Amino acid sequence: MAADRTIHFVSLGCPKNRVDTEVMLGVSGLEGYRHVDDATDADVIVVNTCGFIGPAKEESIDTILGMSQLKESGSCKTLVVAGCLSQRYPEQLAAEMPEVDHFLGSSDMLKLKDVLDAPGRAPRMLVGNPADHTIRATDPRLPSLGAHSVYVKIAEGCNRSCSFCAIPTFRGKQRSRPIDDVVRECEMLIDRGATELNLISQDTISYGRDLKDGTELAALVQRVADLPGAKWVRLFYLYPETLKPHLVDLIANHPKVLPYVDMPLQHASDRMLKIMRRGHGLDRQRKVVETLRKNVPNLVMRTAFIVGHPGETDADFAELCDFVTWAEFDRVGVFRYSPEEDTRSHAMEDDVPAKVSNARARKLVALQRPISRRKTKAMIGQEVEVLVEGGSEESEFLLRGRWWGQAPEIDGEVHLANGTAKVGELRKALITAAADHDLVADLADEHGELPEPPDGPRRAPRKPRISLRTIA
């Protein structure tokens, strides 16, 4: 393949999708394609779609249609659609989008090679069975967040049967990777400069159960965290089960496992948790939160809730609000229920009117916002370790980074003043100002020395806009 062939990727949806896109980036590199940031300069455009809920599907379709216009106005000759949307609706998309040249499913990243080997001659429909592939350390992959911070997908699919979720129908049943394979990938990523390893899957707490050989999450976390070169190890998408003591101990005491817990709870009313088929009630959720608060010093806990699910009453929503007030989570994501075919909820009666669902979402965001703001402002005057990530969009005189309580692309940033640092460095900083999500800090020098406190408070960073689908 000629070296001057260019390719552009659009990755939509969750971090798991980002990993899939990074594998396709690796495939394209092996095929001699050069990645370009500007889609108008690309010979091949790949849109990796999300098909989780209505708004995500709409964004995917709009993006595909937008990219398809570049087949006339840009240099694009081949348009490829990959990911969850094409896995979920292959025939419909193929019939309604003649401008798309090739379709790949949610586990067909390696098939991009077939397209790039023979543009225009490879089969148009390359959507396979999602169960046929699980990511491996040997798969080509080019991290896109920067070499210092990476997501590591430890399993594919999901065995849960939550009433509102269609993911098992197009991502397949859970398929955990062997511990040795995950560790091998982490070693390779560390060799390329990674210091933050974010372990992720659809149902992380269930990691290893499908292997039926005694493999469990705590053993994996221990192996990864003990790797030389790993600095921060973060866990995403823990299900609210009774947490095993070994895992809690790692989160609480291992110097590299961050005391950051991402645990989407979805609701807090016993009645709604049963309707949602979550497999537990409010009592378990309270005990999990209490266990973590009691045993994990400096815990940062992030969760998400769905409002407006069929059957949700004012009383159910009031219970949810009471729980959020009691739990005092650091961050909360609020999602309005999206009716999805192939789910149990889709056939349920007692739909909640959109007006009511919207009002509940706004109320829950408003309830959580002062809790998050209070916790953020309480950090003023604290010294924290910050991962430096580059220049700040706030000012050419500032750097940006994240302290360990901020997950990449999710929880805001720290704007760093009064110092210089290299991207990827972990440096001490003193928090001097705070907004709802972002922080301002003075950067310590390479010897760890902090500058003298400023005369008066620094200006807080520009307040970010908050929508009902962002962190509250």
Alpha-carbon gap, residue 169 to 130, rounded angstroms: 9
Other beta carbons less than 10 A from residue 215's beta carbon: 16
| Measured distance between the N- and C-terminal CA atoms of the chain, rounded to whole angstroms | 48
Task: Return the axis-axis angle of helices 217-225 and 179-191, rounded to nearest 10°.
Answer: 30
Contact in structure between 177 and 211 (CB atoms under 8 Å): no
Beta carbons within 8 Å of 417's beta carbon, 6+ residues apart:
397, 398, 432, 440, 441, 442, 443, 458
- Annotated binding site: which residue ranges? 14, 50, 84, 158, 162, 165
Concatenated DSSP letters of 73-122: HSS--EEEEEEHHHHHSHHHHHHH-TT--EEE-TT-GGGHHHHHHSTTTS
At 282, is the secondary structure helix, strand, or coil? Answer: helix
Per the DSSP assignment, residues forming a β-bridge with 94 are none
* Helical spans, DSSP H, in 263-313: 270-275, 282-295
Q: What are phi and psi of 207, to 5 degrees?
A: -50, 135
Question: Among all chains, which residue has been given the structure tokens 């050989």?
Answer: 213
Alpha-carbon gap, residue 332 to 330, rounded angstroms: 7
- Annotated binding site for [4Fe-4S] cluster: which residue ranges? 14, 50, 84, 158, 162, 165
CA–centroid distance for 140 within its chain: 21
Beta carbons within 8 Å of 350's beta carbon, 6+ residues apart:
310, 311
* Coarse DSSP helix, strand, coil percentages of the chain, rounded to the nearest 5 percent: 35, 20, 45
